[in-house]
Amino acid sequence: MNSFVFLAIGGYQIVLIVVVVLLLFGGKKIPELMKGLGSGIKEFKDASKGGEEEASKSKDSIDNVLEDK
């Protein structure tokens, strides 16, 4: 049996989540929350891209050292 069955969310569950979020935070606060979430995701992507670039540079420098030998 698939252990990720609990992640299967249908239309009714999404509507319920949206209603609960509206009740908890109100309509005026949601755009601010989404803006913060979006900037957090962008920052995470930028950081992971920087890590990939750093790993690529390290690999290239190691390859250069091994070729010189």
Domain assignments of the chain as residue spans, ordered by start: 5-68
Residues in Cβ contact with 30 at an 8 Å cutoff, skipping those fewer than 6 apart: 21, 22
Q: Residue 45 is encoded by which pair of tokens?
A: 């992507």
Q: Which residues does the chain have with pLDDT short of 70?
A: 1-7, 69
Contact 22, 31 (CB under 8 A): no
Distance CA 28, CA 15 (A): 18
Residue 4: the pLDDT is 62
pLDDT of residue 50: 77
d(CA 34, CA 60): 39
> What's the confidence (pLDDT) of residue 69?
61
Amino acid in position 37: L
pTM over 0.85, yes/no: no
